[in-house]
Amino acid sequence: MICMDQRTPSPPLYETLAAGVTTLIDNGLLRPGMRARSVRAFAAQHGVSLTTAVQAYRLLEDRGVLEARPKSGFYVTQRSHRQRELPTASQPPQRASTVAVSNPVFSVLSYAGDPSYAPLGCAIPSAGLLAAERLDRHLARCARVHGRHYNIYADPHGDAELRGQISARALRLGHAVPPEGVLITNGCTEALNIALSVTTRPGDTVAIESPTYFGLLQVLEARGLRALELPTDPTSGVDVKALDKALGKRRVAACLLASSFNNPLGSRIDDARKVAIIRVLTRYRVPLIEDDIYGDISFGDDRPRPFAAISPTADIILCSSFSKTIAPGYRIGWLAANRRHDEILAAKFALSLSGAALPQKAMADFLKSGGYDAHLRRIRKVFADNIDRMRRVVDRSFPRDTRMTDPKGGFVLWLELPDGFDSDTLYQRAIRERICFVPGGLFTAGRGYRNCLRLSCSHDWDARVERSVARLGELAHELLA
328 interacts with its own copies by CB under 8 A: yes
299 interacts with its own copies by CB under 8 A: no
Output 157 or 396, the one with its CB closest to its own copies: 157
The DSSP symbol for 303 reads P
Minimum Å gap between C-beta 457 and its own copies is: 17
117 interacts with its own copies by CB under 8 A: no
223 interacts with its own copies by CB under 8 A: yes
Alpha-carbon span 157 to 362, nearest angstrom: 16
Dump the DSSP string for 139-157.
HHHHHHHHHHHH-S---TT
Contacting range for its own copies; rule: CB under 8 A; set: 227-235, 356-364, 389-397, 416-424 = 356-364
Alpha-carbon span 4 to 443, nearest angstrom: 33
323 interacts with its own copies by CB under 8 A: yes
Q: With contact defined as beta carbons under 8 Å apart, do 261 and 410 qualify?
A: yes
351 interacts with its own copies by CB under 8 A: yes
Alpha-carbon span 210 to 445, nearest angstrom: 9
Q: How far is CA 384 from CA 79, 390, 465, in A?
A: 11, 10, 16
Output 42 or 150, the one with its CB closest to its own copies: 150
Interface pick for its own copies out of 90, 166, 190, 280 (rule CB under 8 A): 190
381 interacts with its own copies by CB under 8 A: no
Output 317 or 415, the one with its CB closest to its own copies: 317
Give the three-state DSSP class for 256.
Answer: strand
335 interacts with its own copies by CB under 8 A: no
What residues numbered 128-157 form the site for its own copies, per CB under 8 A?
Answer: 128, 130, 132-133, 135-137, 139-141, 143-144, 147-156
Output 83 or 106, the one with its CB closest to its own copies: 106
122 interacts with its own copies by CB under 8 A: yes
Distance of CA 69 to the CA centre of its chain: 35
Contacting range for its own copies; rule: CB under 8 A; set: 239-247, 301-309, 323-331, 433-441 = 323-331
Helix (H) or strand (E) holding 185: strand 182-186
Minimum Å gap between C-beta 229 and its own copies is: 18
318 interacts with its own copies by CB under 8 A: no
| Neighbouring C-beta atoms of residue 243, cutoff 10 Å | 23
320 interacts with its own copies by CB under 8 A: no
Q: With contact defined as beta carbons under 8 Å apart, do 267 and 234 qualify?
A: yes
Interface pick for its own copies out of 21, 36, 39, 124 (rule CB under 8 A): 124
Q: Label residue 305 exposed, middle or buried (CB < 10 Å: 0-12, 13-18, 19+).
A: middle
Going by C-beta distance under 8 Å and a sequence separation of 6 or more, which residues neighbour residue 34?
75, 76
Max CA pair span of the chain = 76
Q: Where on the chain is the footprint of its own copies (CB under 8 A)? A: 102-103, 105-106, 109, 113, 122, 124, 127-128, 130, 132-133, 135-137, 139-141, 143-144, 147-156, 186-187, 189-190, 193, 197, 201-202, 215, 218-219, 221-224, 323, 327-331, 342, 345-347, 349-359, 362
